[in-house]
Amino acid sequence: MKNNAASVQNCSSVDNYRVYYNSGYGGTSQYFAHRDPYGSCKLTNLISALKNENASQHFA
């Protein structure tokens, strides 16, 4: 079963984040850079291939 996420918010000041279409970190993915040390964490929409169809994610 896929997650129903439509957007991502990476608030880490040191770790980048990636969302994947398939379980086990496979398939189409989207990368989200960490926020600037003094910046705000912005909400970013997932690409159409991942919107409401994402199954795994991790900090990188």
pLDDT for 1: 57
The count of other CB atoms within 10 Å of the CB of residue 49 is 12
Torsion-angle region of 50 (φ positive above 0: left; ψ -120 to 50: alpha; else: beta): alpha
pLDDT for 17: 93
Report the chain (60 residues): mean pLDDT per 10 consecutive residues: 86 93 94 88 93 90
Domain tally for the chain?
1
For residue 2, is it within any domain?
no
Cβ neighbours of residue 22 closer than 8 Å, sequence gap 6 or more: 55, 56
pLDDT for 42: 87
Look at the alpha carbons of 57, 32, 54, 22 in this order and tell me if their dihedral is positive or negative: negative
For residue 45, is it within any domain?
yes
| Domain span holding position 36 | 7-59
Cα separation, 3 vs 41, whole angstroms: 22
